[in-house]
Structure 1
Amino acid sequence: MFCVARRLRIGSAIPFGCALAALWGAPVCAEGDTMLFTADTLELTGDARVVLVDGERSWLEGGYGKLRSSGAGDDFQARPEIGNLNLIWQPQFSWSLSATVVGSVQGGARSEGGLSQAYLSFRPMRGSSDLAFSARAGLMWPPVSLEHEGADWHVKDSITPSAINSWIGEEVKPVAIEGTAVATFGEHKLRATAAVLAANDTSGTLLTFRGWALHDRTTLAFRRQPLPPLDGELEEYQAPYTHPLLDVHSGFAHRPGYYAKIAWQPPIPIRLEFFRYDNRADPEDVNADLEWGWRTAFDNLSLVSDLGGRTQLKAQVIEGRTRMGYLEPTRRWVDNRFRSAFVMLVRRFGSARISLRAEAFDTGNRGSLVDSEYDETGWSGMIAAHHELGPFTGFVELLHVSSRREDIEAVGLKPCQRQTQLQAQLRMHW
């Protein structure tokens, strides 16, 4: 059997190299557990959808709309779209060492493609003890979301994730080295995770200037996210875009951040999780493109409970703070406190499921340049149903979001914005 290894070149070698550094020492072909290019190591996923939506133009197209697709004001606008296409490669180098590399194409407004995740995984053989260990290193999402799963990080029970996990997908994806220990104490199970991270200095930019949003677009390596129109004073200091995967200071990992998580599974059908994230960016760091360091830290509390009768409850609460700019005189230019919470019920009916979700969110700004005029309050409600049939899954979702922020009056919009979106999606995997 002959195997051929190809060297993949990316515009910047830092995140990709962190994930695939061990590839050069791995044999191209080997006996036993090594699998590089086989049917078991490759997977293709994707979706097509029809969207009916009203309200403002999407933030992806330079507007203030909070959804992935743009509306037509008070009128509904319908369009077919290609959603997300993902090619997943998960080679196995030995029984305990593997890798995950995901290339994605995201359709709709601002269609683009790129590298989604690239990391190594280490899972040593577990003995008879009640303690297990695993590790990851590379470009990846931290273990926060209760709604996403799989190497392609797809949304499990709906089309659109909550505002919390939409923000994680768009602004919280670092390069990290992560370790996890799982211990069993009688009927209790504890999982502890800790990581050192870099290249996430600008996290918080979108959340401040645009506010919360609900969509299934995610950050791709070396790609930038657009910001809504900035007022005259802010245009002088801030680029009209943000690169979430970026070290603003010269050099890699100049000020490494961290995240940590602990999950507790007691001998009842409940799981509790606590997650802490701090990118430790310097708020006064700025590069030649006027992208700044945003010191962003947040706490996330999650609960999953099986209620019986094939019904599951999920809940997440996040609270955090992001700061940017110089002190003038005692307040930084941006000092934004943010929070959101959702409750979700999922009911199974054989191969079909129905999901209900309600969420509230807000931001509070106390900076010297970005003050309470940029505060936001809002809520959303969602109902979704899906049915699985072999490699296909069909979804129908109705989503409504309502929000208020005063600063959008400067561009001629009403402070209170409402959007309703109906989607039908066909999801596929091979």
Structure 2
Amino acid sequence: MTDRWRAAGLAIWLLATGADQAQAFDLDDLHLDGFVDGRLVQPGDEQSWIKGGLGKLRYGGGRFEPGAGGVVLVPWVQITPALTGVLDLRYDPGQRDIVGADEAYLRYRPVSTTAWRWSVKAGAFFPPISLEGTGVGWTSPWTVTPSAINSWVGEELRTIGVEPTLEWRGDAGMLTATAAIFGVNSAAGTLLASSGWNLSDTITPLGGRVRLPNLFGPESTSRTFDEDDNRPGWYAGATWKMPAYGELSVLRYDNDANLDASLHDKPWHTRFWSLGARSELDDLTFLAQGMLGDTGVAYDPVGSTTTHFYAAYVLVGWQRDDWRVAGRIDRFGTGGFNDDFDRNLGEHGMAGTLAVTWRPLDWLRLTGEALRIDSTRNARLGTGLAPRSVDDQFQLAARLFF
């Protein structure tokens, strides 16, 4: 098996092994969720980062586009009452890797009759960072395009390892503690340092690559899920849920990459804090999240480059009957100096998103979304562009669920 498919193959093997060793199950234990996504898009003028440009949105070029947003298939099986296997598959013709698996894992969660409950996940899955990705295929029920934070999580982060969780349930609420040991994510941070923050609903599949700006070479890519230093990373976090008020969550992430590893493909040491909050008041839902961290890589013969980054957003959503309306404000920035270009390649910016969703039927959801992003990045000077860019994107997405 090649390096490209090592991560995906390992995760799928875990699923198959778990199913083979568990007790027999019938077809009633096998389920399939998913959707078909169609789009009408009026993209921004900038060439998208997906095509190697410096545009920060999924679509670019300024030309009206009808097209397919893709197909998501999530087969899952209840192997035993306590053991579940999940496989998240995606077909997306707008991405570099058109077909792939986003997640593939086993989850063991035995029944508890006390205030304590534990579970463990093994395989490949998203780290517990997102407040938005609660829908099928790690999608948001509020917008088509996730926040800058969750866009980056989908682009470069995946837990390929083991994640135990411990819950305590009391009269005042529920406290959840989570930790994980993982590997095959040594390149996390490459895209964030080279391209900055993007707002896009693309998800890099296991074994896939992300496109880097043409500024760093034509057709330049990064193998996102790779193991360059044979040293595991970790994260640990906690969530406190109070039925009357909402929830608070905190997580510390560190891929613990070894920058001294003498390898052709240098690992990136990426670490950050994530803090999130969710609350509801009548028909309103409030989401807020912030992230602060840094990512660095060592270069030969001496020296290293470190990019500091931050991002935050606030989302207010209103829901009544078949309608949902959501507004979100993002702030983001990076800071770092690259000797190759003799200038600071950091950025700062903000984005505003407004989405209106109508779901007249259980199997049909229509969403209109308008997004504006205003950012300033000195790397644009290297291509003869002005540092500041203001771009707009409009989408009408139709999703047919099954």
Match in the other structure for 1:409: 381
1:391 corresponds to which residue?
363
Q: CA deviation at 1:326?
A: 3.8
8 Å CA contact 1:336–1:367 kept in 2: the answer is: no
Task: Please report how far the alpha carbon of residue 86 of structure 1 lies from its aligned counterpart in structure 2 after TM superposition.
Answer: 1.4
Q: 1:172-205, CA deviations, whole angstroms, 9 ceiling, x for partnerless residues?
A: 1130201111102331320111111111000000
8 A contact 1:256–1:280 mirrored in 2: yes
> Residue by residue, what CA displacement relative to the aligned partner does 1:140-175 show, whole Å, maximum 9, x if unpaired?
101101111245111221000000000000001130
Distance 1:11 1:375 in 2: 33
* Residues 335-359 of structure 1, C-alpha deviations (whole Å, 9 max, x = no match): 0000001000001121211000001
Contact 1:364–1:372 (Cα < 8 Å) also in 2: no
In the alignment, does 2:279 pair up with 1:305? yes
Give the distance between the partners of 1:204 and 1:417, measured in 2 at CA.
Answer: 23
In structure 2, what residue type is equivalent to 1:102? D
Q: Which amino acid aligns with 1:50?
A: L
Task: Give percent identity, aligned residues only.
Answer: 30
Secondary structure of the residue that 1:220 maps to in structure 2?
Answer: coil
Match in the other structure for 1:314: 287
State whether structure 2 residue 321 is matched by structure 1 residue 350.
yes
Tell me the CA shift for residue 239 of structure 1.
9.1
Residue 14 of structure 1 pairs with residue 10 of structure 2: yes
User: Compared with structure 1, are the counterparts of its residues 156 and 95 closer, same or farther at alpha carbon in structure 2 (3 Å cutoff)?
Assistant: same
Give yes or no for contact 2:44–2:59 (8 Å, CA) kept in 1: no
SS of corresponding position for 2:44 = strand
Whether the 8 Å CA contact 1:333–1:367 is kept in 2: the answer is no
Aligned equivalents of 1:275, 1:124: Cα separation in 2: 25
1-side partners of 2:199 and 2:214: how far apart? 19
Distance 2:130 2:262 in 1: 30
Q: Given the alignment of the two structures, is residue 107 of structure 1 paired with residue 93 of structure 2, yes or no?
A: yes
**Partner SS for 1:55:** coil
What aligned pairs does 1:31-430 form with structure 2 within 5 A after superposition? 34-35=25-26, 37-38=27-28, 40-72=30-62, 77-108=63-94, 110=96, 112-127=98-113, 129-231=114-216, 240-249=220-229, 254-266=230-242, 268-285=244-261, 287-288=263-264, 291-306=265-280, 308-326=281-299, 332-366=303-337, 368-369=339-340, 373-388=344-359, 389-430=361-402
Q: Is the 8 A contact 2:32 2:76 kept in 1?
A: yes
Cα shift at 1:121: 0.8
Change (3 A) 1:43 1:413: same
Q: After superposition, what is the alpha-carbon deviation per residue over 1:222-278, rounded to whole angstroms, capped at 9, x for unaligned?
A: 1111100235xxx6xx992111111013xxxx2111111101123631211001111
2-side partners of 1:89 and 1:397: how far apart? 29
Q: Verify the 8 A CA contact 1:202 1:246 in the aligned structure 2.
A: yes
Q: Counterpart of 1:81 in structure 2: which amino acid?
A: G
Question: Which amino acid is the alignment partner of residue 176 of structure 1?
Answer: G
Quick one: distance in 2 between partners of 1:370 and 1:302?
36
What displacement does 1:315 show?
0.2
Q: Distance in 2 between matches of 1:316 and 1:370?
A: 33
CA contact (8 A) 1:284 1:324 kept: no
For structure 2, the 5+ residue unaligned runs are: none
The structural deviation recorded for 1:58 is 0.6
Q: Which runs of 5+ in 1 are unaligned?
A: 1-9
Matched residue SS, 2:149: helix
- Is the 2:30–2:75 Cα contact (8 Å) retained in structure 1? no
How far did 1:40 drift? 4.9
The match for 2:22 is 26
TM-score normalized with structure 1 length: 0.87
Aligned-pair CA distance for 1:381: 0.2
SS of equivalent to 1:215: coil
Please list the CA deviations of residues 77-104 of structure 1 after superposition, one character each: whole Å capped at 9, or x if unmatched.
Answer: 2101211311211011110011001211
Deviating more after overlay: 39-48 vs 296-305:
39-48
Separation in 2, partners of 1:245, 1:109: 16
TM-score w.r.t. the length of structure 2 is: 0.93
